[in-house]
Amino acid sequence: MGNFKKLRVWQESIDLAEEIYNLTRKEPFARDYGLKDQIQRAVVSVASNIAEGDERKTLKEATYFFNVSKGSAAEVITQLHIAFRVGYVSDETLERLEDKSEKIRASIKKLIQNRKY
């Protein structure tokens, strides 16, 4: 515990956050303040909760924050689908970012199951 920057899943979640921020800067997504802010908050929560969980002293606390992070990744996927449905992202972008988000969720799940923080 305590080396969150070395965790591959944390690094991947930072990369995902960068991609989401770049995506939401483009029109027409940039004008939808509600969805833009929500997806940005959710993607920041993924990396932030991995970091916070890794810094916690007990397994129970760490697991709680890792589960919050996993839930935030599911939020990102949901918001990407909404963005696709309203025409803000292409099917290719949706598929690529959803795949990244799903891989992050799976990695967090393994982190919890293996108890190797």
- What does the pLDDT look like over 66-91, one tens digit per residue? 999 999 999 999 999 999 999 999 99
Average pLDDT over residues 23-39: 97
Q: How confident is the model at residue 117 (pLDDT cuts 50, 70, 90)?
A: very low
CA distance 113 to 24: 33
> pLDDT per residue over 9-29, tens digit each?
999 999 999 999 999 999 999
pTM assigned to the model: 0.93
Q: DSSP for 70-102?
A: HHHHHHHHHHHHHHHHTTSS-HHHHHHHHHHHH
Residue 62 CA from chain centroid, whole number:
17
Query: Closest Cα to residue 74, out of 39, 29, 36, 113?
Result: 39
Domains in the chain: boundaries: 4-114
Fold of the 4-114 domain: de novo design (two linked rop proteins) (1.20.1440)
Would you place residue 3 in the very low, low, confident or very high pLDDT band (cuts 50, 70, 90)?
confident
Report the percentage of the chain scoring pLDDT > 70.
Answer: 96
In angstroms, the CA 81 to CA 89 distance is 9
Residue-averaged pLDDT of the chain: 95
